[in-house]
Homo-oligomer: A and B are copies of this chain.
Amino acid sequence: MSLQVAVVVGNPKPLSRTRRVAELLVEKLLEPGSYALEVIDLADHTDQIFAWPSDKMAAMNARVAESDLVVFASPTYKATYTGLLKAFLDRYPANGLAGVTAIPVHTGADFSHAMGPTYNLAPLLVELGATVPGRGFYLALSQMDQVADVVDAAVAEYAANLSRSAAIAAHTRTATPASA
């Protein structure tokens, strides 16, 4: 069985470095061949982001909500996620990301906004019902030449956290026995 994975990019400009960082994070976290990836660059959908209803947006929202893992990535605007990313998340009903494991990612000019993914984006994803497996990921642009090392360190933390959580999953009252 293949994992369903999505990257949602909240930069109003397409093909951003933020997008590349998010894609790299997925690539380094998961085994090659174990997942199908959809990348949603919200810059391509600004004309419909406030349209209601919108079949196109609804389908996109649904695919993200059905994913196992989603990286939500945004440049840092005013020390937090962009309005564009929020507008996409606003389209969900309460608890609309239940079941999704979500990794909050921000990029920024320097380290002064490094708390953004942990203190601003993480609680928004938790509010939507998602699981957040550890600290948000932040990359300062000055780190672009060492991005591989920074991402390696982060994915090691996420992988270890997910592995530890899996041990609990096996013992919840509603858990299906592994032999089922």
List A residues at the B interface (Cβ < 8 Å): 1, 3, 12, 28-31, 34-35, 46, 49-50, 52, 68-69, 77-90, 92, 95, 98-101, 110-116, 118-120, 122-124, 126-136, 155-176
Extra 8 A-B pairs, beta carbons < 8 Å, given A80-B86, A162-B172: A46-B50, A78-B86, A78-B92, A87-B87, A95-B157, A98-B161, A118-B123, A162-B169
Determine if A126 and B131 form an interchain contact, defined as CB atoms under 8 angstroms apart: no
Q: Which of A28, A50, A85, A98 has the most CB of B within 10 A?
A: A50
Oligomeric state, in copies: 4
A114: chain B residues within 8 A (beta carbon): 111-113, 115
Q: Which of A3, A49, A92, A165 lies at the interface centre, i.e. has the most chain B CB atoms within 10 A of its CB?
A: A165
Enumerate chain B residues within 8 angstroms of A162, measured Cβ to Cβ. Answer: 131, 165-166, 168-169, 172
Q: Contacts of A126 on B, CB cut-off 8 Å?
A: 118, 122, 132, 134-136
A5 closest partner in B (C-beta)? B168
Closest chain B CB from A144 CB (angstroms): 17
Q: Are B35 and A171 in touch, CB under 8 angstroms?
A: yes
